[in-house]
Structure 1
Amino acid sequence: MSKEAYIRLRHEEQLRISASVYETSLDAILITNIQCEILSVNKTFTEITGYTEEDVRGKNPRILSSGYHDKPFYKKMWVSLLTEGYWKGEIINKRKDGNHYTEILAITAVKEKGEISHYIGSFTDISELKSSEQTVKILTFYNPLTMLPNRNFLSRKLSEILEACAETQMRAAIISIDLDHFKNINDTLGHDQGDIVLKQVALKLVDCCGTHFVAHQSGDEFTVILENLNKEFEIAFRDVEFMVEKLKKNLSFEYSSLDHTFHITVSQGITLIGDATETADDKLKETELALYKAKESGRNNYKFYNNAMQSTLDHKVTLESELRYGMKHNEFVLFYQMQVNDQEHIKGCEALIRWRHPVKGVINPFDFVPFAEESGLIIPLGELILREACLQLNRWSKLEETKHFSIAVNVSAKQFYDKNFLPIVKSIIAETRIDPSLLIIELTESLFIDISGDLIKTMVELKNMGVSFSLDDFGTGYSSMSYLKKFDIDYLKIDQSFVREITTDLTNQTIAESIIVMAHKLGLKVIAEGIETVGQRDLLAAAGDIAVE
């Protein structure tokens, strides 16, 4: 075979291979002349665009244009092609059916004798990938229920606003919004109905706020950012308050479903942004703290953040830490206030908790028990008190002169309703080996506001064990003869506010005497708190048998 024939055969073979690659390539390929008229396209081009070769032959590739890209975009493409002979980038084009798709396009300028003669374009459809990316973006930056920006988006937006405020000295405001008692809707109607309420709130928020930024952080918590407020604090404050009142009004509505009607209201916490160098997280924490204060003050309310709130929070954080440390290191001790009968014989006592703080000295329970209630630490603290009181009963049981002493232990409503309360009491009684009849659990009237089956069950089981119950501060709260009859109470304690002035105040004397007479008719024993004089004791004793503290 001659050299010329061999070269011709090799050239034909290369052409066949190139043609095969051209037709079987997974990339779409189109070839144009120097005038950008399409000469040829492959099979993949047709599969992606919907256009056959006959449809596009002689046409300009702009037949695929979606109109998405502007003139500067294409100008930059052509500058690259003419100077470098190559361009590659992401482009949005249009199929024959009108639908848009995203492709990665590479264009190469083909030269003959140093001059461009053709252009070859190859592209890959990445629409599915872009769709997945868009889905990820939506899940990352938007709440899937309301499609409002989520906390991630909010943090980014807020960071931008903080920078802008620092540069321009303009003001902005953040409003945190939380639905009041939203849990009741979910618990009563189910989460599907709760979601409907959240969507309605989202629509009302967007409608009310206009162009202002609205986010749905999570659950029933929303956030509004008011931008470009006046530099003057008083004017900005007035504008924010106007919007807050508007939100309060527009987000108050009735929602009815399944024979239930709920009145929707919101609580709001607000903080203003000036030129301070604070982070987005700092400002969000401020609004959340203000929101907490709004809910604490009765809901359907709003509060502006102030530095005192942060000081209070810091104090609570420190107090919680010190309470936990104190319980762990035996800083809490019990003192016992004796209860004597009218013959001045000791019949028992009430256990009173004190905190022997290593720095602050002895701390009164009024200074830490309310916070223990609020934080939930009353549960472990109450267990500590009960255990120590029962250990003291055990010690007294071994002495002839004290073996008949009873101990009354104060138990809060939160403790009593805790699911572990009954097992804990049973366990402590068994561990300390005390006579249960010498243990008195002292309750307040607030426990009986919401009476449940669990309350009755717990009281019955403890009564069956021999434990007694005392009703503390009777006459100062929700006094009701019905629960005295319904619950097997053993003792009534007359609050010291009635006792203190009974020798000089006829009204208080009459109330105290009436309580004693009523209690005895119901078969209850009576304890009078705060007796300081013999005259007070004798006056009450004349109405019936009592014990005094």
Structure 2
Amino acid sequence: RFHPAGATVAAAAHRLVLAAGGSEFGTVSLHVDDEVSFATWLPLLPTLGAVLEQLLQRPALARQLDECGQQLRNSEQRFRDLFDHLPDPCWLIERGHFTDCNRAAVALLGYAHREDILQHPSRLSPQRQPDGRLSFDKAEEMMQTALREGVHRFEWEHQRADGSCFPAEVTLARIRIEGHDALYCVWRDITQRKRVEQQAYDLAFFDPLTHLPNRRLLHDRLEQAMANSVRSGCHGALAYLDLDHFKVLNDTRGHDVGDRLLAQVALRLRDVVRGSDTVARMGGDEFVVLIQPLDENAEIAATQAHRIGEQILAVLAAACDVESMPWHGSASIGIALFHGHGLPAREVLKRADLAMYQAKAAGRNALRFFDPSIQVRVAARAQLEADLRLALAGRQLTLQYQPQVDACGHCIGVEALLRWQHPQRGAVAPIEFITLAEETGLITSIGQWVLGEACRVLDGWTRQPAFARLQLAVNVSARQFYQGNFVASVSELLRTHDIEPSRLRLELTESMLLGNLDHAIDTMRELKDIGVRFSLDDFGTGYSSLNYVKRLPIDQIKIDQSFVRDIHTDANDAAICRAVIAMGRSLGLSTVAEGVETAQQWEFLAGEGCDAAQGYLYAPPLALDAFADWLREHG
């Protein structure tokens, strides 16, 4: 720093510049105090210029500048090499314009030259993105977001030179170039990732065989339809359909053929419904059609749904070509209307399912709408099932005994009949709970209890002379009879109670035996070998074929009460009873007529040679103590 004035300043400055110029590197710093006028410095400027020119011409400084330039060129080349050899496509965006891109971008987009991309960036995207927005508008928004936040990642659909499109994941990062903000863009082809995501989505929400929505996706769409119904005020409908006799096709022609039929059914359903409707497969041979929107008026909406249901029945009734053979099928359809969120989605589905079963009960190839009374019956059935499960443990089940009387009026046997005394409902009719027990599988446990109770009673009767000669008949269900341990369980009960096996008579029906006749005969023979007797119950109500009756190791035939009831007013019933008695006699089998209520009925039966009668003519089913009193009175 120099603080003199005038020429002295100039001389001092001159000496300083010369001194600096005498070394290989030098820096000159001049500071002018406020009191030194500009006029004082003016004569010095030419001298300073000359000295600086000499400095620039010195070799050392030139080398330095050249090295700096080379370093800049090397740095730029490294950047270019790194930029061009990145495996992911990338480019630079400055002030909204594409100013550079790498080789990967050129190659993956299918262009020949870099300039093709830089000069026509609008070709790199379709007009609209998958979300429906214009590509130009969305690109502007994405760039502004990246400039504001520093980094922004999003998905984008790119377009190749050949016009094909593919999904990409794009990352925009803000950088500084020559003093201004720019964007460094890197993107990656995510076609494979999208394919895997779609496969996972399809597995979660679509049926792999028919490619229809599955139960989960249907439930979601039903919820959406119900929400739409709230806004629009329109009704919707759910049609639940089940293919009739599909099991026959599966069992006779194999599951591959069944699968081909299901695929054809799916195609036909998609073709017959409207674009706004949804066809879904629930599993097996069950499909659901979500029909919406329908009219605001419930009656009109039901008519519209019925029309679509009829169209479905018609298209499914047409022959299907499976395995080069025509298959004439049909379907049963149940329809439930819905309006808004008045019911949960699962309740609507359940109602349609119940209506479908009503269509099946009506003879199949039919359509039924949900009847609220069905729900009442279903709820009552569910409660009855729950009560029945408690009945066995709570000792609400009992046996009553109805005598079987021969032509001389002597009691030769007894049938044990199951009864249920409900604590609130009182006596429940057997037809109500026995059918329910068979459907739910409870009949197996109940049947085992009945057998055990019958054996216990027989054990007690052994020590009473008046009862010791009686046979006790017990009804056996198909589920119980076909259990693998049935023979062993009966044998164990007989041993436990030390009962003469011939005093136990098992009653079987025709229908339960025909399901697996050979198995039934084998089981019966095993028990027959140890002395157990058999009756064929309800004879005449099934096939009543002599071909199988003669093969069965039975001891007795029971004539069903439906033939006995009108024996004097219906000639056919009289002829059937006469034929059954004659057949029994010819095969060496005893005959027992059920439901005998009048002396006239028994007179006819006895005259034809019937061995015994059971019915209200002699006694109704009686409690154990009441039967003992009856036996003492009638002998």
TM-score (norm. length: structure 2)? 0.77
Query: Shift of the alpha carbon at 1:75?
Result: 1.9
Of 459, 480, 483, 1:394 maps to: 459
Deviates more, 1:55-64 or 1:184-193: 55-64
Question: Are 1:131 and 2:206 counterparts?
Answer: no
Conserved 8 A contact 2:85-2:102 = no
Deviates more, 1:285-294 or 1:225-234: 225-234
Query: Shift of the alpha carbon at 1:529?
Result: 2.4
Question: Are 1:41 and 2:106 counterparts?
Answer: no
Partner of 2:291 in structure 1?
A: 226
* CA displacement 1:165-215 (0-9 Å, x = unmatched): 222221121111111121222222222111110111111111211323222
Distance 2:25 2:124 in 1: 48
Query: Shift of the alpha carbon at 1:353?
Result: 0.5
Partner of 1:495 in structure 2?
A: 560
Partner of 1:61 in structure 2?
A: 121
| Aligned pairs (5 A) from 1:151-162 | 151-162=215-226
What secondary structure, in the 3-state scheme, does the structure 2 residue paired with 1:330 have? coil
Conserved 8 A contact 1:339-1:548 = yes
Partner of 1:77 in structure 2?
A: 139
What secondary structure, in the 3-state scheme, does the structure 2 residue paired with 1:264 have? coil
Hey, which of these two has a bigger chunk of strand by percent?
A: 1
Conserved 8 A contact 1:41-1:53 = no
Question: Are 1:273 and 2:338 counterparts?
Answer: yes
Distance 2:562 2:242 in 1: 40
Distance 2:462 2:194 in 1: 79
Partner of 1:163 in structure 2?
A: 227
Distance 1:429 1:467 in 2: 10
Query: Shift of the alpha carbon at 1:79?
Result: 4.4
| Aligned pairs (5 A) from 1:443-462 | 443-450=508-515, 452-462=517-527
Distance 1:177 1:506 in 2: 44
Q: Which amino acid aligns with 1:77?
A: A
Query: Shift of the alpha carbon at 1:479?
Result: 3.2
What secondary structure, in the 3-state scheme, does the structure 2 residue paired with 1:367 have? helix
Conserved 8 A contact 2:127-2:135 = no
What secondary structure, in the 3-state scheme, does the structure 1 residue paired with 2:197 have? helix
Q: How has the CA–CA distance of structure 1 residues 227 and 434 changed in structure 2, closer, same or farther, with 3 Å as cutoff?
A: same
Query: Shift of the alpha carbon at 1:462?
Result: 2.7
Distance 1:275 1:460 in 2: 62
Conserved 8 A contact 1:40-1:53 = no
The answer for unaligned runs of 5 or more in structure 2 is 1-23, 27-60, 615-635
Conserved 8 A contact 1:439-1:468 = yes
Partner of 1:437 in structure 2?
A: 502
* CA displacement 1:246-271 (0-9 Å, x = unmatched): 21121013346569764311111101
Conserved 8 A contact 2:593-2:613 = yes
* CA displacement 1:481-511 (0-9 Å, x = unmatched): 3333232321122333444566788876665
Query: Shift of the alpha carbon at 1:230?
Result: 1.9
Distance 2:91 2:571 in 1: 107
Conserved 8 A contact 1:32-1:38 = yes
Q: Which amino acid aligns with 2:418?
A: I
Identity %: 34
Q: Which amino acid aligns with 1:316?
A: R
Of 234, 245, 253, 1:181 maps to: 245
Conserved 8 A contact 1:166-1:277 = no
Conserved 8 A contact 1:519-1:526 = yes
Question: Are 1:102 and 2:162 counterparts?
Answer: no
* CA displacement 1:401-445 (0-9 Å, x = unmatched): 433321111123454445554454344444444332222121223
What secondary structure, in the 3-state scheme, does the structure 2 residue paired with 1:470 have? strand
Partner of 1:293 in structure 2?
A: 358
Conserved 8 A contact 1:408-1:440 = yes
Q: How has the CA–CA distance of structure 1 residues 55 and 487 changed in structure 2, closer, same or farther, with 3 Å as cutoff?
A: farther
Partner of 2:434 in structure 1?
A: 369
What secondary structure, in the 3-state scheme, does the structure 2 residue paired with 1:356 have? strand
Query: Shift of the alpha carbon at 1:534?
Result: 5.5
What secondary structure, in the 3-state scheme, does the structure 2 residue paired with 1:204 have? helix
Partner of 1:30 in structure 2?
A: 91
| Aligned pairs (5 A) from 1:121-520 | 121-211=185-275, 212-255=277-320, 262-275=327-340, 277-418=342-483, 421-450=486-515, 452-500=517-565, 511-520=576-585
Distance 1:52 1:60 in 2: 13
Distance 2:577 2:486 in 1: 33
Query: Shift of the alpha carbon at 1:384?
Result: 1.9
Q: How has the CA–CA distance of structure 1 residues 138 and 83 changed in structure 2, closer, same or farther, with 3 Å as cutoff?
A: closer
Distance 1:379 1:303 in 2: 34
Q: How has the CA–CA distance of structure 1 residues 504 and 146 changed in structure 2, closer, same or farther, with 3 Å as cutoff?
A: closer
Q: Which amino acid aligns with 2:319?
A: E
Q: Which amino acid aligns with 1:523?
A: G
Alignment coverage as a number of residue pairs? 547
Distance 2:101 2:322 in 1: 64
Distance 1:259 1:488 in 2: 45
Q: How has the CA–CA distance of structure 1 residues 537 and 223 changed in structure 2, closer, same or farther, with 3 Å as cutoff?
A: closer
Deviates more, 1:514-523 or 1:310-319: 514-523
Root mean square deviation of aligned Cα: 3.3
Q: Which amino acid aligns with 1:126?
A: I
Deviates more, 1:132-141 or 1:292-301: 292-301
**Which has the greater radius of gyration?**
2
Deviates more, 1:9-18 or 1:521-530: 9-18
Q: How has the CA–CA distance of structure 1 residues 416 and 249 changed in structure 2, closer, same or farther, with 3 Å as cutoff?
A: farther
Q: How has the CA–CA distance of structure 1 residues 315 and 78 changed in structure 2, closer, same or farther, with 3 Å as cutoff?
A: same
Q: How has the CA–CA distance of structure 1 residues 423 and 259 changed in structure 2, closer, same or farther, with 3 Å as cutoff?
A: farther
What secondary structure, in the 3-state scheme, does the structure 2 residue paired with 1:164 have? helix
What secondary structure, in the 3-state scheme, does the structure 2 residue paired with 1:176 have? strand
